[in-house]
Each structure stands twice: as structure tokens, then as C-alpha cells.
Amino acid sequence: MLLLEVISGERLPKPERGKMRVHKINNVNKALDFIASKGVKLVSIGAEEIVDGNAKMTLGMIWTIILRFAIQDISVEETSAKEGLLLWCQRKTAPYKNVNVQNFHISWKDGLAFNALIHRHRPELIEYDKLRKDDPVTNLNNAFEVAEKYLDIPKMLDAEDIVNTARPDEKAIMTYVSSFYHAFSGAQKAETAANRICKVLAVNQENEHLMEDYEKLASDLLEWIKRTIPWLEDRSPQKTIQEMQQKLEDFRDYRRVHKPPKVQEKCQLEINFNTLQTKLRLSNRPAFMPSEGKMVSDINNGWQHLEQAEKGYEEWLLNEIRRLERLDHLAEKFRQKASIHEAWTEGKEAMLKQKDYETATLSDIKALIRKHEAFESDLAAHQDRVEQIAAIAQELNELDYYDSPSVNARCQKICDQWDVLGSLTHSRREALEKTEKQLETIDELHLEYAKRAAPFNNWMESAMEDLQDMFIVHTIEEIEGLIAAHDQFKSTLPDADKEREAILGIQREAQRIADFNSIKLSGNNPYTSVTPQIINSKWERVQQLVPKRDHALLDEQSKQQSNEHLRRQFASQANIVGPWIQTKMEEIGRISIEMNGTLEDQLNHLKQYEQSIVDYKPNIDLLEQQHQLIQEALIFDNKHTNYTMEHIRVGWEQLLTTIARTINEVENQILTRDAKGISQEQMQEFRASFNHFDKDHGGALGPEEFKACLISLGYDVENDRQKRTGSMDTDDFRALLISTGYSLGDAEFNRIMSVVDPNNSGIVTFQAFIDFMSRETTDTDTADQVIASFKVLAGDKNYITAEELRRELPPDQAEYCIARMAPYQGPDAIPGALDYKSFSTALYGESDL
């Protein structure tokens, strides 16, 4: 009975005096009744066995008493008895090296754990650093002697027995350790206070880490935008198509490789910012204000500038390529026509300067006159070519052709020579006509031949020029038009062949007459240099060029048919993907305002929806491949669809961003609900009221809509908090407010708007609405609570020391506090004193840290 009084701390009934067996049994029964009254079940233990000296029963009862009164009431972080005591030992010995408490037997054999418990609470009693793990007997005896001498804990264990036993008795160790727990139980209050501080500091450290991550990500993204925009705004034209095509390929790499990761970074930046602000609100911390120029709005402004620069860049590249193609075509056409004209004019100036008519006979002069008439006819026929050369040169200048100076010089030379030829032709004609009266004989057949051969020769030259002319088409219709024109040209060949035979017949007739009359001709026709051999040679060349032209036109027709197939293939896929993206955007908007199931159900639904969108990515990739083929084929338009690849890319990026933002909103709502203890019914009521006043389903309320929503929920501005009247539900309360003309005061409503809309954007999102309602209805940690916790650790002093922080807090959080706490300046300050009050208020934004 004395043992029970010592362990339990309570007085038992007075025992009976006497040495008879019955007296002893009655006394033991009183003790057993007391044990039973404390809720201890004794199985198969009777007073008779105890009185008779049954050692097994007696020891079992003693262990039951110790377990009930010395161990059972131990509680550490919602664990009790043995588990609670073990957790307490692990927490207290965690900072000590060579100590790893996992049980109540072999973990204590080296004696270091006992010494660590004492040193943790009374460091002046133990020189822990001098203890050696390989000397367990000395360690154990040191701990037992110090505990008995200074802590009034009796020496219950023998050091040699513990060391020499493979597995020390668990109950004996546990009983002895419980004495330390009760001896140091006064320190539990300090530990609780330390835990509170650890929790607050951990939240603050995590928030600072998130802020640093945001600043770095924002800086990197803004730097990339700053580097990219000047590149996209550079409109410096290149001289060749190859250089411009390389620019186009660089732009495609930017769209495919460089930009998509930055889109993801921008989306992740917004999500991180929203999550950080939510965590700050939930932990009652001030809102995070990024560095100047790194706000989400700054990122969005920079991104918009990037999109604007990008929008016109690709169109400029394609226009430049078209321009250079046109320039190359015109330049080649200019060179061909100029070469033909220069070849034709070669020697003409010298011919026109001849004065052979001065010594010519009458027949010769007549021949010279008619030859000159043929030349004038030829000259007139070449007038169109000269005008075409000048027109092409002018167009090259207007299109800013890089080699315009050489083109202009060559064109000017041709024009100057043409003027000289015109002047010389006029002078020679006057000289010939002056002597024409003296000339009578004329060779009509030669003249007729010359007159007909010259235009026919010019026609053949024009035909050869047209058959070798380069062409550029972009549609089936254009190539079919060229094929039709070519077919029409081929239909004129029989008539041209007849004309050729007629011209050659004139020459044969002249030769026949000369032979018949024994006239010796000089050889060549005096009126023209176009011989039958030249006509036949050029006619043969025309015949050769016709099938080549046929082949070139058919190849181009095949190419345009292939391009048309690419257009239809892209249009078919784009007309499916475009509406699909629009439908998904509408469905996400509808999901975000519906209230089907719990927030977790909505989150799971949205994540499944997000996965279905991600699974659709191969369709976008297929469309990108088809678009790549179209661009490689230099196809610039597509009449079969209104969707461009740019529209699809923008829609796809918006879809991914929208679903990610919607998921983040629901996750933040779950964080708010769990942190503030808001029930599912309250969340649904908040959502229902919000949706009721969100008339345009835009996911945000204007000031008047927000005011009406607050009134519908029964918000009382005069008491500066929410409350409901009596037991009325929302509809009854709303009706009462309307009937009594209740309204929010301007001052109170302006205060509320400054909380839910700190940026003065004029709208209130659902997340801001939930944060406000949860903040109005729940409690959170405050600076005063943290100050009170620090005061416990400081032993009710107005300051705290670095040693006390390191003893009571984990190492990283202790160092965090020491680095940020200001020196204490009070009258009771000692060297090294730290001001924990200013530190605590700074954590909640009430002062500067």
C-alpha cells in the first residue's frame, strides 16, 4: 500500500493492524480495490497469491502499477504511454551524436542516451563531449549518479547488468526513463512553445523560398523577352532569297523550339504567384509585392509586346520572299530581253552610217532603199521590246532591287543607242530618198521577201523568247491559264508554217526567174539579212522549244496539284482541331462556374479533363507537320479553311493556360477550405451566391455585384464581421434585408474593396471572395501568440539569447531567428540579448524585419 501511495500520490484506506493471515489478505484487497478504481484490470491476481509470496504475481502487479501511474499518463503529440515516451526520448536526444533511440532495451546499453536526456534539460550537470561510446559502464554510472544526486531519481538499474545483458529488461529501462520524463515534465511547456515557433518560422521560410523562386523566374523570363523583341522587330531586308529563307527557318525554330518552354514558364509563374499569395493570406502574412518591374502585369505587358512584334514578323518574311522571287524573275527577264536586243543592234549603227549609195548603181540604190524600208519595219517591231526593257528596269527600281545601278546603266545604254539608231535611220532615209528619183530598177520579189521575212523572223524571235520565258504561279487556275495560252499558240503554228513556206516560195521564185533570165545574183538578198537558212533554223528551234514548254507547264501543273492536296489536307485537319479547341474552352468556362460534387471531385474532374487535352496533343503535332509541308512548298494562302496555324497555336496555348489556371483556382480553394475549416456546405453557399450575381459568367464581380453578394450573405458592416440574424436561412435573410432597405455603408464597403481588390482593378475574383469570407469567419495565428511563445522560451524575460534559441529550436530555424532578430535595447538588456517582439511583429507585416 505504501508503494501505491508513493507512485499514485494519493492516500489509501488505513490498513488493519495484526499479523494474522486474514488481516494481511484484507490489506492487500484494499490495495487491489484502489487499483481497480483507477481503471486497471488485474487478471488472475488475488490477495492470497500476494500474501503467500507468489513472486511472479507480485512482480506482475508491481509492473501494472508502474505502467498505470508512471507511464500511462505520458502523452506526446497525440501518442501516449510507451509510444509517447519513446517519441519524447527521440525528440530530446535527436541533436546528440552517437545516440539513436529506437526502443527501450539495446538503444540504452552504451549509456549515452541517459546522459543526453540529462544534458538536454540540465547541461551544467553533464560534460557530454567528454563521454566515450566505447566505455558504457562509466557512461551509465555517471548518468545514474547525477540523476540520483541532482534530480532525486533513485538508482533503479545496475550498469554491469545492462552492459553484460544481450537485451536489457525493457520494463526496467522504461520504468527508469519514465522517472526522467516526470522530472523534466516542466520543460514540456517550453517544447510546445518551441513547436509553435518552428511552425511559424517554417511557413515564413517556405514563403521566402517561393518569393526568391518567383523573382528569379520573372527576371529570366523578362530578360528573354527583352532579348527576343529587338530580333522580331528587325526588318532589315536581305539581298537573296536564300538569306530570307534562312531568316524564315530561324523564325520557325523560335516558334517550335524556343517559345513553347517560355509559354510554360509564364503560366507556371502566374500559378506560383497565385499559390504564394494564397499561402500568405492563409498564414495571415502580408501580400507579396515583387520587385519593381517584375509584377505579373509587367510580365503580361512584356508578353503582349512580344506577341505584337511576332505577329507582323512572319508576314514580313513571306512578303520579302515573294518580293525577292519577283525581283529575280524580273532581273532574269530583263537580262534575256536586253541580250536579245543588244544582239540585234550589233552592227546596226555602223550599217546606218555607211555612204555606199554615193557610188551605187540605180538598181543598187533601189535595193538599198528597200533594204532600208525593211530595216525600218524591223526597227518598229523592236520598239515594243525596248519599251518592255525600260518598264522592267523601272519596276526593279520600284521594288528596290539590290543591283539596280547596273540594271539602270544597261537600260540607259540601250535607250541611248535606240535614240541614235532612230536618228541615223531618219538621216539615211533622207539620203536614199534624195537619190531615189534616179533609181528605177527594183527587184520586187526580193523586196516582198524582205518585207514578209522580217516580221516573220521577228515573230519567231518573239515566239522563242516567249517559249523560254520564266513563269511563277501559285494556283491551279494560273497554271491552267498558261497551258490554255500555250495551246492557243500551238494552234497558230500551222498558219505560221504556211507563211514560212510562202516566204521561202518567194525566194525560190526570185531564184527561178534569175536562172531563167540568166541573171547573176550577188548571192544574198540585198533587202534583208534574213536568209532562208535563218528562217529554217529559227523555225526548227521553235519546233524544239514547244515540247520543252509543254513539259515545263505539265511539271508545274503537277506541282500545283500537289500544293492543292496539301491545302486540302491541312484544311481538313484544321477545320476539326479549331472547333475542338473552341468547344473545350467553352466547356472549361462552364465547369468553372458549376458546383457538381466536392472541390476534390471538381479537381479530379478538371485533371481528367486536362489529361484529355494533353492526349489531344498529337493532333496539334500532325497539324504542325502539315503546316511545315505547306510552308516548305511556299504556299501562301488556303481558301479551304479560315484557320491559320497561328490561330491554332494561339488557341492551343490559351486552352492549356486556361485549364491550368482553373485547376490552380480549385487547388487554392481547397487550401483555403482546409486551412480555415470551411465546410463543403459553406463553400457551396459561397459559390452559389457568387454565381447568382455573376450575370455574365465571367468569373468575377463588379463592385455593385460584390456589394449585393455580401448583402445576400448577411454581412453586417457596423460590427465589421459576418453574422446571420437568428436562425434564418440565406433566402429569408436576403428578403429581410431588402424589405428593410438595408445597405452597406460607403466607408465599410471601401475598406472591404481595398482588401479583396488591392490593385484597384475594379473586379473581385472568386478566390479573393473566398479569402475574404474565410478571413472574416476563422481565426489564425497572430503576432501576439508568437510573442507569447517566445516569452515562454525566454523564461518570461523581455529578450532571448542565442543559446536559448539553439537549445529549444531545430538548428536551421534557430540560426534563422538569430540572423534576423535585432539586438534588444531595453533597460534590462544583457550582452547578446535579442529582441523577439520586433521579430514577431515583422513576421506578420506589422513592422520591418
Same domain, 549 and 686: no
Q: Tell me, what's the pLDDT at 716?
A: 55
**pLDDT tens digit sequence for 482-509:** 888 888 888 888 988 898 899 888 777 7
Between CA 195 and CA 199 the distance in angstroms is 6
> Which pLDDT does position 681 carry in this prediction?
73
How far apart are the C-alpha atoms of 708 and 702, rounded to whole Å?
10
- 238 vs 23, which has greater pLDDT? 23
Cβ distance 190 to 261 under 8 Å?
no
301 in any annotated domain:
yes
Does pLDDT of 22 surpass 90? Answer: no
Residue 833 lies in a domain: yes
Domain boundary among 280, 303, 326: 326
Q: Residue 80 forms beta bridges with which residues?
A: 75
CA angle, residues 766, 768, 770, in degrees to nearest 5: 70
pLDDT of residue 325: 72
- Confidence category of residue 148, pLDDT binned at 50, 70, 90: very high
Three-state DSSP class for residue 239:
coil
Residue 328, pLDDT > 80, answer no
Residue 69 grid cell:
501511474
Residues 549, 600, single domain; the answer is: no
pLDDT tens-digit map of 569-588: 888 888 998 899 888 888 88
How does strand 764-765 pair with strand 721-722? unpaired
Residue 78's H or E segment, with its range, is: none
| Residue 763 placed within a domain | yes
Same domain, 664 and 788: no
Partners of 75 in the β-ladder: 80
Q: Which of 276, 281, 283, 194 shows the shortest CA–CA distance to 781?
A: 283
Question: Could you tell me the pLDDT band of residue 514, with boundaries at 50, 70 and 90?
Answer: low
Highest mean pLDDT among 323-327, 397-401, 418-422: 418-422
Task: Tell me the residue type at 296.
Answer: V
Same-domain status, 474 and 598: no
CATH number at residue 802: 1.10.238.10
Query: What is the rounded radius of gyration, in angstroms, for the C-alpha atoms of the chain?
Result: 52
Residue 144 banded pLDDT, cuts 50, 70, 90: very high
Instruction: Give the model confidence (pLDDT) of 605-619 as tens digits.
Output: 888 888 988 898 999
| Burial tier of 686 (Cβ tally within 10 Å: 0-12, 13-18, 19+) | buried
Judged against a pLDDT cut of 50, whether residue 723 lies above it is answered with: no
Task: Please determine, for residue 89, whether its predicted confidence score (pLDDT) is greater than 50.
Answer: yes
Mean pLDDT of 246-262: 76
Closest CA to 635 of 553, 566, 542: 566
Residues 608, 646: one domain? yes
Closest residue by Cα to residue 255 from 646, 639, 587: 646
Output the pLDDT for position 519.
47
> What mean pLDDT is predicted for residues 30-37?
73
Q: Are 237 and 316 in contact (CB under 8 A)?
A: no
Any idea what the CATH number is for the domain that residue 609 is in?
1.20.58.60
Domain that holds residue 665: 573-716+745-776
Closest to 460 measured CA to CA, from 496, 486, 495: 496
Q: Are residues 588 and 704 in the same domain?
A: yes
Q: What is the percent of the chain with per-residue pLDDT over 70, rounded to a whole number? A: 80
Query: 32: phi > 0 → left, psi -120 to 50 → alpha, else beta; which?
Result: alpha
Per residue in 381-419, pLDDT (tens digit) is 888 888 888 888 887 787 777 777 888 888 888 888 888
Last residue of a domain, one of 272, 300, 326: 326
pLDDT of residue 695: 74
Longest dimension (CA), the chain: 187
pLDDT at residue 142 above 80?
A: yes
Which pLDDT band holds residue 652 (cuts at 50, 70, 90)? very high
* Residue 29 clears pLDDT 90, i.e. is over it: no
Name the percent of the chain lying above pLDDT 90.
Answer: 10
Where a domain ends, among 502, 525, 555?
A: 555
Q: Is 403 exposed, middle or buried (0-12, 13-18, 19+ CB in 10 A)?
A: exposed
3-class DSSP string for 771-786: HHHHHHHCCCCCHHHH
Q: Report the sign of the C-alpha dihedral through residues 651, 652, 657, 659, in that order.
A: positive
This prediction's pTM: 0.37
Residue 159 lies in a domain: no
Looking up cell 523562386 gives 213
Taking only the tens place, the pLDDT of each residue in 183-225 is 887 555 666 677 778 777 787 888 888 888 888 888 888 888 8
Q: Where are the alpha helices (DSSP H) in 713-808?
A: 730-739, 746-756, 766-777, 783-793, 802-808
Written as one letter, the residue type at 640 is H
Question: Can you tell me which residue has the cell 549515452?
Answer: 112
Instruction: List 36's β-bridge partners, or say none.
Output: none
**Domains: count for the chain:** 4
Residue 87 lies in a domain: no
351-362 pLDDT, tens per residue? 888 877 666 555
- Do 258 and 286 share a structural domain? yes
Q: Same domain for 591 and 614? A: yes
Same domain, 769 and 794: no
CA torsion angle 333 339 342 347 (round to 10)? -160
Q: Is residue 404 part of a domain?
A: no
Q: What is the pLDDT of residue 725?
A: 35
Residue whose C-alpha cell is 529578450: 799
CA separation for the pair 610, 655 (Å, rounded): 9
Give the pLDDT of residue 800.
Answer: 92
pLDDT of residue 359: 61
| pLDDT on residue 671 | 82
Residue 815, C-alpha cell as written in the block: 540560426
Most confident among 7-16, 59-68, 563-572 (mean pLDDT): 563-572
795-806 pLDDT, tens digit each: 889 999 999 889
- Asked if 200 contacts 781 with a C-beta cutoff of 8 angstroms, the reply is yes
Residue 822 sits at φ, ψ, to 5 deg, of -80, 155
Q: How far is CA 276 from the centre of its chain?
A: 18
- Band (227; pLDDT cuts 50, 70, 90): confident
- Provide the pLDDT confidence category of residue 60 given band limits of 50, 70 and 90: low
For the chain, what is the mean pLDDT? 78
Q: Where are the alpha helices (DSSP H) in 346-361?
A: 348-353
52: in domain: no
**Is there a domain that residue 19 lies in?**
no
Between CA 606 and CA 281, with CA 597 as vertex, the angle to 5 degrees is 70
pLDDT at 542 over 80: yes
Report DSSP state, residue 98: T
Mean pLDDT of 258-278: 83
Contacts 24+ apart (CB under 8 A), 225-230: 225/262, 225/302, 225/303, 225/305, 225/306, 226/302, 228/254, 228/258, 228/306, 228/309, 229/302, 229/305, 229/306, 229/309
Pair (659, 750) in one structural domain: yes
Contact assessment for residue 660 and residue 610, using Cβ atoms and an 8 Å cutoff:
yes
- The predicted model gives 668-695 an average pLDDT of 75
For strands 75-76 and 721-722, give the pairing: unpaired
546 and 616 co-located in one domain: no
Check residue 257 and report its DSSP letter.
I
Average pLDDT over residues 169-175: 88
Give me the phi and psi of 80, to 5 degrees please.
-135, 170
- Specify the pLDDT at position 358: 63
Say how many Å lie between the first and final Cα of the chain, rounded. 60
How many Å apart are CA 4 and CA 29, to the nearest integer? 13
Tell me, yes or no, whether 711 and 772 share the same domain. yes
The full DSSP string for 201-237 is HHHHHHHHHHHHHHHHHHHHHHHHHHHHHHHHH----
pLDDT band at 736 (very low <50, low <70, confident <90, very high): very low
Evaluated on CA atoms 393, 399, 401, 405, the torsion sign reads: positive
Measure the CA–CA gap between 605 and 693, rounded to whole angstroms.
Answer: 25
Cell of 573: 485537319
Across residues 639-659, what is the average pLDDT?
88
